[in-house]
Chains A and B, each alone.
Chain A
Amino acid sequence: MADGTLVGASYVPADHVAKVTGRAKYAEDFRAEGMLFAKLLLSPMPHARVRNIDASAALAMPGVKAILTASDVPDQNGAEKALTNEPFYAGEPILAVAAVDELTAAEAIEKIQVDLEPLPFVIDPLESLRPGAPNARLDGNVWSAPRPPAPGGGPPAPAARETVKWTQEDFASAGEGQLPMGRALEEWSFGDLDAAFKASALTLDETFVVQSTGHHPMETRSAMAYWQNGKVYLHGSTQSVAFTQGIIAGWLGIPPSDVVLICEYTGGGFGSKGAGAVSMAIPALLSKKANAPVMMRISREEESYIGRARTNMSGRAKVAFSKEGRILGLDLFIVQDSGAYGPMGDFRSGGNAASLIYQPAAMRMRAINVITNTPPRSQQRSPGPMQANGIMEPILTKAAKQLGLDQVALRRLNSPEGKALYGPPLPNGQRRHITSAFVKDALDRGAEAFKWNERKARSGQRRGSKVRGVGVTVGPHGAGSIGWDSIMTIRPDGKLYVQSGVGNLGTHSVMDLARVAADVLAMPWDKVEVVWGNTSKSLPWTCLSVGSQTTHAMTRANHAGAMDAKRKLQQIAAMDLGGSPDDYELGGERVHRRGSPGGGLTYAQAARRAIQLGGAFDGHAVPDDVNPMTKTSAAALAGLGLMGVAKDTYPRDGDTYSFVIGFAEVEVDVETGKVSLVDFLAVGDVGRVINPRSLMAQLNGGSCLGIAHALCQKWVIDPQYGLTLARRFHYNKPLTILDVPANMEAMALDMPDPETPVGARGVGEPPVGAGYGAVMNAIADAVGTDVFRRAPVTADIVLMSLEHGKRMHEPLRAHL
């Protein structure tokens, strides 16, 4: 563990002033000499084939410089291209026009005649599984299960599609409002499920519909590109700078070394810009064609279509409880909607999450992964685990009521502890396990801080037309990868330069993680320069900033690199001043003999010595095990100072997961159905705290996304015409600041994970399911556990259930 003073302390990252004063430059703020503007022609149909494009009138307009169609875009081996001749969803880009300004480009688009042959389409995943229903793709309606890897390795086979239709009997036998369960293409199980249901004191079998929502980051996926000396310079918006370089190269069909990505600021991504956006290829390719810089500003309307969305899932879970509330068995079936592209694996992480946070003694997981003619999905903050919370939590809440158990106690009883097992059995029969979990501590701490028992005592009591309820949920998510690299240099100016390949997506990790290195090297923060936001700035091989992995992954990598630098400082000191490296320690910006601060070499002196010595000391030689990207970057920085460069090879026993517990109290107006969130507390079991202020922002912000899913956020597609209706914010209804309590509370256990040197795990995602589940559970606590089985839980759903004494909402239809 790093023993410095920076990790665990809040601070103001260097980029904050620029962000709050508007000086920060996002992709669309850049201008280049002779820059053109691009606009897109979007498919008006949910599925069609382009028979002909007549752009002659557009190209004849003064000011129109180039047109880009699908044939200009390199093939992606069957995966999504930036432009298409067979749109799979309404709003999919068919072509782009570059003109001297946006107005001209838009007028040019209006002059283009696209002859489209309409093709069959389907919007609702369940409808696609009905006998005789159309397929969303001509070659299938579902994604096949992944084929097992070929013996001896080799590249994985591309995802395959097939046609699956369930029988009328499958649909007829489902029971009213229950999810039909026909043939699943993926299935795993462990334990004796039959025995579990035989032994159960209570068995519940319920269906829940989790909605899809667009990611809608404030910054749309605008991008600007130009070419210089055979390289493309691309100003774009991505969550992950270093990793995105190679992805862009793939979209453009050029080597990664010919891509310079500049992205110093990202106005949010939430998983929709994990490695940039495929649409970035459009200005890059148009720029080449027009031989001029091209800016493509994506409008909010366009973002509604190409901006990605969460996979919606309809889930059915049959759960066996003991009379003490222990979950003996879980039989889970998920119909996932992957949208027009994919395949998305959210249902797998959802099944894993359910197996982890509810620790069923026996479990079967079945799923089918359906293709629909709806806008593309990508991972959205807690992809899968949030959906699992939605499917499972109504059942737990109902079970606790029926068994007469406290909601917190029920979750605590079933919660993971320590190196808990999760997921499907491996070929050897064993199941995977996690690095650590302190969920029981978090539930205890949270219940006390939230005054759970006091609030519980007043739940269900009606005052006037208002009734209150409380809810709790454990939100899980994978929280860290391993094996990435770091590069840092101590230079003759006495400063530490940490190369950060992380994206600046609003989490502060782009800066925070350098503090680990500074602590190891006892370097004051004002002597640390973080180098970031541009792939020409010699970045190390860095994880994607998705899956809540960055803090875990890159604290490890930076720790490894800093330890390498520390060792080199000690070696130089021993070489010049005698003794062995271990006789030397760091302090006061010097490497000095133990107990003799003020002696030894200053960092500036050591940096100069490292340059004189060359070889590994100044980065002319690097470890064999680092990634080629790291080698290239190290070579570019070699000779600038003493270099720390390493791959994270620290051992790890288990897979890293984080947990956030959500506690919510709501007030429901039974005369209007309107739900108000009264209080919310998030408690993080997220390992050691790196930056408390940023952590609280993540806990609150992530919770808000879950609360939004519980209360209001959705998207809406008309099934008859296949067109998106909720195209604007006021139709999509993301959460507003007045929909959450003025004082949302968040806290963290600050208990280090034992399987990583700094002890930190990720936090971005687990609050989402915690917010989603806790708020919905609180609503159920207030007005009844059978009032709703879909989200968002809006006033109409609540009021109609209360009015009629039973659920009146649409049980299964998606995209309402």
Chain B
Amino acid sequence: MAVIRDVMPAFELLQPASIADALELLDRHGPSAWVLAGGLDSFDWLKDRIKRPSVVVDLSGLAEMKGVRPRGEGLEIGAMTTLTDVVRHPMVQQRFSILNQAAEAAASPQIRNQGTIGGNVSQDTRCWYYRAGWSCYRAGGNICYADTPQAINREHAILGADRCVAVSPSDTAPALVALDAEMVIRSKAGERVVPAEDYFIGPGTDITRMNVLRTGELLIAIRIPGTWAGATFYFEKVADRNVWDFPLVNVASAMVLSGNTVQRMRIAVNGVAARPLRLVAVENAMRGKARTDDALAAAGELAIQGAVPLQFNAYKVPLLRNLVKRAIRGAEGT
């Protein structure tokens, strides 16, 4: 059978009007259903005829899943809220600016108008071998094409690789991990709430998935606690282009400072592993420490411990180290 790409095959499009209806449909159709949020990730898969669902459940009509709402001292963001709406929301800007920056760093203005925060955190990896439909580990095969002697793997993982060396491409994910966000997941059977840190999974846990969502489950909302509201934040993304690009590495940190001393902090990075990594060792090392050059250097070294570069991505080691230092030190010159 010959292969043809970039022509979307036919499928049954289901457009539920309520979360309950959506969950009912997902339950009914099981693994043959594909969940469609903004479509930026989905349409690539569908047009390339690599994922061939018979049913697509389109969440775009679910008003309950859209919008940013106050919740206690924090926020609840519907998973179908567009990245643009996250960026523009005053509470996000004022209290959790790290998320504002991360969401604005994603993709391009046009994509952010259509792409959702739920989709941004739940999207699949962009490994160009996997996305081209090659039969790799992640696709159910028995090889990683990105980890052969001649493979071109500049964008791939330096940490947490397990057969597969793909990375998570999300810009909002490390910000949500740094903010200690919670992911609200619902299925017909009920609701569970998972810390953002645990929402994302690496190949060692399940090589075919990037997150804990099971068949029949939907990410309904993301909750951001008030814990870090108004903290000292830092977000930076390094990419080849200034817009419309996935991160080579990104970093997000939230710190409570006393003078130059770090009272407490959370820090997460992405683009270096199959899931965003919270750097607990860095957080612990900096707790109660002044942000001296020595402390920053030590934090940077802790961040890259265990890093194993591939042929073309050794730069991610110093890049990660430097970004972590910078995320603690603050913006240039401060």
Contacts and interface: CB of A to CB of B under 8 A. Distances in A.
B238 A726 contact: no
29 contacts: A39-B7, A41-B2, A42-B3, A109-B4, A110-B1, A110-B2, A110-B49, A112-B2, A113-B1, A113-B2, A300-B6, A301-B48, A464-B333, A671-B322, A672-B238, A673-B315, A718-B145, A718-B152, A725-B129, A725-B152, A731-B128, A738-B241, A795-B240, A795-B248, A795-B319, A796-B315, A799-B318, A803-B315, A810-B312
Interface in B1-48: 1-7, 9-10, 44, 48
Contact of B241 (A106, A725, A727, A739): A739
Interface string A145-180: 000000000000000000000000000000000000
A716 B146 CA distance: 13
Given A799-B315, A803-B318, A674 B6 contact: no
A796 B7 CA distance: 35
B244 A730 contact: yes
B161 to A, nearest CB: 18
A719 interface: yes
6 closest Cβ pairs, A-B complex: A464-B332, A299-B6, A796-B315, A301-B6, A106-B7, A738-B242
A730 B152 contact: no
Given A723-B132, A796-B312, 19 more contacts: A41-B4, A103-B9, A103-B10, A106-B49, A107-B9, A113-B1, A671-B325, A672-B323, A674-B238, A711-B240, A718-B145, A720-B150, A725-B132, A733-B241, A733-B245, A736-B108, A737-B243, A799-B318, A808-B314
Contacts of B275: none
Q: How many of chain B's residues touch chain A, expressed as a range? A: 35 or more
Contacts of B148: 720
A112 B49 CA distance: 16
A372 B312 CA distance: 23
Interface in B316-334: 316, 318-319, 322-323, 325-326, 332-333
Contacts, number: 135
A219 interface: no
Nearest to A37: B7
B285 interface: no
B280 interface: no
Contacts of A673: 238, 315, 319
B151 A103 contact: no
B163 interface: no
Interface string A80-117: 00000000000000000000001101110111111000
Interface in A788-810: 792, 794-797, 799-800, 803, 808, 810
Contact of A466 (B128, B241, B332): B332
Contacts of B323: 671-672
Interface string B223-247: 0000000000000001011111110
Interface in B129-159: 129, 132, 145, 148, 150-152, 154
A247 interface: no
Contacts of A464: 332-333
Contacts of A736: 108, 241-244
A44 interface: yes
B228 to A, nearest CB: 25
Contacts of B44: 728
Contacts of A300: 6
Given A736-B241, A799-B318, A44 B3 contact: yes
Contacts of B7: 39, 102-103, 105-106, 299
Interface of B: 1-7, 9-10, 44, 48-49, 108, 126, 128-129, 132, 145, 148, 150-152, 154, 238, 240-246, 248, 312-316, 318-319, 322-323, 325-326, 332-333
Contact of B3 (A110, A302, A803): A110
B120 to A, nearest CB: 15
Q: How many of chain A's residues touch chain B, expressed as a range? A: 35 or more
A109 B2 contact: yes
Nearest to B238: A672
Contacts of A299: 5-7
Is the contact region of chain A dominated by helix, strand, or loop, or is it mixed? mixed
A737 B243 CA distance: 8
A754 to B, nearest CB: 43
B56 to A, nearest CB: 15
A107 B2 CA distance: 10
Is the contact region of chain B dominated by helix, strand, or loop, or is it mixed? loop
A810 B313 CA distance: 12
A775 interface: no
A302 B4 CA distance: 10
B312 A816 contact: yes
Given A110-B4, A816-B152, A730 B326 contact: no
B312 A114 contact: no
Contacts of A51: none
A725 B128 contact: yes
Contacts of A301: 5-6, 48
Contacts of B246: 730
A10 interface: no
Contacts of A612: none
A739 B242 contact: yes
Contacts of B318: 799-800, 803
Contacts of A727: 128, 132
A794 B240 contact: yes
B243 A738 contact: yes
Contacts of A106: 4, 7, 9, 49
Contacts of A463: 333
A718 B132 CA distance: 12
Interface in A284-337: 299-302
Contacts of A632: none
Nearest to B322: A671
A795 B2 contact: no
A314 B248 CA distance: 27
Contacts of B126: 730
Contacts of A739: 241-243
Contacts of A723: 132
A39 B150 contact: no
Contacts of B238: 672-674, 795
A76 interface: no
B319 to A, nearest CB: 6
Contacts of A42: 3-4
Q: Which of B126, B145, B151, B318 has the most CB of A within 10 A?
A: B318
A248 B256 CA distance: 69
A143 B44 CA distance: 39
Interface in A730-750: 730-731, 733, 735-739
Contacts of A725: 128-129, 132, 152
A733 B240 contact: yes
A465 interface: yes
A712 interface: yes
A735 B332 CA distance: 26
A800 B7 CA distance: 40
A291 B48 CA distance: 30
A222 B2 CA distance: 22
A109 B7 CA distance: 11
B6 A718 contact: no
A302 B3 CA distance: 12
